[in-house]
Chain A
Amino acid sequence: MSKQRMMPAINLALQEEMKRDNRVILYGEDAGISLLGQTTGLQENFGKDRVRDTPICENIMTGMAVGAAAAGYRPICHLLYGNFIYTGFDSIANQAAKLKYMTAGQVKLPIVYMAVIGGGRSAAAQHSDIPYPALMNLGGVKVVVPSNSRTAKGLLKSAIRDDNPVFYLTAAGGGRPEEVPDDDNYIIPIGKSEVINQGNDVTIISIGSMTLKSLQATKKLNEKGVGVDLIDLLSLVPIDEDTIINSLKKTGRVIIVDEARDICSAASHISAILSDKAFKYLKSPIKRVTVKDVAIPYSPILESHVIPEVADIVNCIEELLELN
């Protein structure tokens, strides 16, 4: 166990999995030099055959993963920023998500598509998107969003070992260093969320970068005597319905904090699940705290205005409680 930030924890998971299984290969733009630090040292340790620098060509990169996976490898396609998923979207949506189904299960596609998502760094609109709403709707892919360095390690190892295409999307604002287990078999199962704070008054379901903000909001609410059940969702496909429904049964009130725009977001989908399956336990409307319905602006003052902040979460819950 040691305290690590997000990128070193991701790097550790990659090192361990590439050592464990020589069918795991990784490629991407600047994979060798590693722009963001996830892939640092991999080329030195595993060679230029297994760790490849690609040209800047997301269109072919996403498709290559499908072909290489069909031919027996476990490719990790490193797409840098979430927005570049759009550039490579044809092979993601038309091939990776559908080939297994269209061929009646003839083929397994153990692929990890990894990218950094979200705002908070003045990277502006084309490097700050949250692309998972579109991915969640594809059907044939899993989607995970770790919230900190520990979950980043555990989920990446699960993603690499999974036989489906998995989108592994890490928040740009990865948060503070956390204790990361050294155990090279430390995994977090895909489809399991974590309850990271217990309380009886309200449930917060948070995703990715919103988990740290939700934790801070939880502390502020605790000070005001409000008990919060905080669920770090971790996996968007599949969603851990049991855990969120059980929490709702306990608290009767739920808000979902999601860095995506609201329309067809993870938050709106979870809201639909809860109203379908747990309506009778609700004491108040399900609320969604999401990014405002604009592109992410550059200037920090504008950016923090549109991305949910701790105060937005606290305010939402206070309004919710005053309703009753």
Chain B
Amino acid sequence: MMSIKNYVNNLSDEDLKRIYKKMLMIRKCEEHLGEATKNGAFPGAVHLYIGQEAIAVPLCDQLNDSDWISSTHRGHGHFIAKGGDVKKMMAEIYGKSTGICGGKGGSMHVADFKKGIIGANGVVAGGMGLAVGAALASKMDGNGAVSIIFFGDGAANQGVLMEAMNICSLWNLPMIFMCENNQYSEFTHTSEVTSGKIVDRAEPFGIPKYEVDGNNAVDVWQAAYQAVQRGRNDEGPSFIEAHTYRQRGHVEFEYTFLSRTYRDQNEVELWKTNDKDPILRLESYFIEHNKYSGDDIEKIQKEVQDEVDDAVKFAIESPEPDITSAMEHMIER
């Protein structure tokens, strides 16, 4: 088994425990949504972040509210990792008035600008320009804030990525390109639709590149640390490709409309094992190094589950939006 923590100097056990707990929060929120969608508990479709938690959390753990993130249709994890309110996120997905966007955005548009969360995005690579614009603003403000675009291997094939890398490198913007390569572009294996290595696309732009095991929180933290420091010190953009695996489908419930399977179930199961799953790997590390006992982990699991249950209860019990709100916020007259 790959060691989770073999060369870390600047990451304490406390840091790792905090990261673990937040990863668990994402996992349990997503597990709930995966189950609840079967009962039609909320109106829209959800794209779950299960298996990719070790990417958003170790990076966002190093950010504060003045830093910006822009993310993807698989954006619940980024929202939570950046400090978004779990109750308000859950209520948003349930389409309720108490949701972070008043029930007008839903799963694919959870955002909280006060926390630097520009939001999830329903367009693949759609957040790219937004993150670059925020990076430009931070650069002009000279406040040391950084801007992160989370995007997938699918978005890596959008032309706007090249435009973004060019301009960020040219203007030395405090931007981090965080590519989460989860191996599937919707329902197609990325190798079938992608030439070359994604991380290498940073090279001709002179952008420092990091390739990491995206299921290893420590690896991600280290690369993110380099990238964040570069941004804060006005040294320009960085590109990280984090290799991971999408344990769930592109979208929940996909087999109700797909005519055939597109991947082997054994492959999926492999990535759920102790050696591969990012959360199980952290737990193994804690136990092996006597940082946590099995009981400790069980206790934390329960704490987190209780918090998720509260958020779900809050979402379910919250009122529907007032229909007058449908006519608000489009344009300021």
Contacts and interface: CB of A to CB of B under 8 A. Distances in A.
The yes or no verdict on A and B being binding partners is yes
A25 B105 contact: no
Interface of A: 25, 49-50, 52, 54-55, 57, 59-73, 75, 90-91, 94-95, 99-108, 139-142, 162-164, 191, 237-238
B82 to A, nearest CB: 14
Nearest to B328: A105
Given A55-B167, A102-B109, A60 B160 contact: yes
Given A55-B170, A59-B163, A64-B133, A94 B119 contact: no
A22 B264 CA distance: 57
A67 B167 contact: no
Chain A CB within 10 A, most for which of B130, B134, B164: B130
A106 B129 contact: no
Contacts of B167: 54-55, 57, 60, 64
Given A57-B167, A105-B328, A164-B331, A68 B122 contact: no
A60 B113 contact: no
B190 interface: no
Interface in B211-258: none
B316 interface: no
B166 A67 contact: no
Contacts of A70: 113, 118, 130, 133-134
Given A59-B129, A103-B109, A71 B123 contact: no
Nearest to B109: A102
B126 interface: yes
Nearest to A62: B129
A95 B101 CA distance: 15
Given A25-B140, A91-B126, A104-B102, 7 more contacts: A55-B166, A61-B129, A67-B129, A70-B130, A70-B133, A90-B160, A99-B111
Which bracket fits the contact residues of B? Answer: 35 or more
Contacts of B109: 102-103
A238 B333 CA distance: 8
A139 B126 contact: no
B87 to A, nearest CB: 16
B101 A67 contact: no
Contacts of B128: 60, 63
Contacts of B133: 63-71, 75
A64 B331 contact: no
Interface in B184-231: none
B104 interface: yes
B42 interface: no
A59 B159 contact: yes
B72 interface: no
Contact of A67 (B104, B112, B137, B159): B137
A140 B122 CA distance: 17
B138 interface: yes
Contact of B330 (A57, A66, A101): A101
B132 interface: yes
B166 A57 contact: yes
B62 interface: no
Contacts of A73: 136-137, 140
Contacts of B289: none
Given A71-B68, A90-B123, A94-B123, A106 B136 contact: no
17 contacts: A57-B166, A59-B129, A59-B159, A59-B163, A64-B129, A67-B129, A67-B132, A67-B134, A67-B135, A73-B137, A90-B126, A100-B331, A106-B113, A107-B113, A140-B331, A142-B331, A163-B332
Nearest to B97: A104
A67 B69 CA distance: 10
Contacts of B181: none
B331 A139 contact: yes
B329 A100 contact: yes
Given A57-B166, A104-B325, A66 B140 contact: no
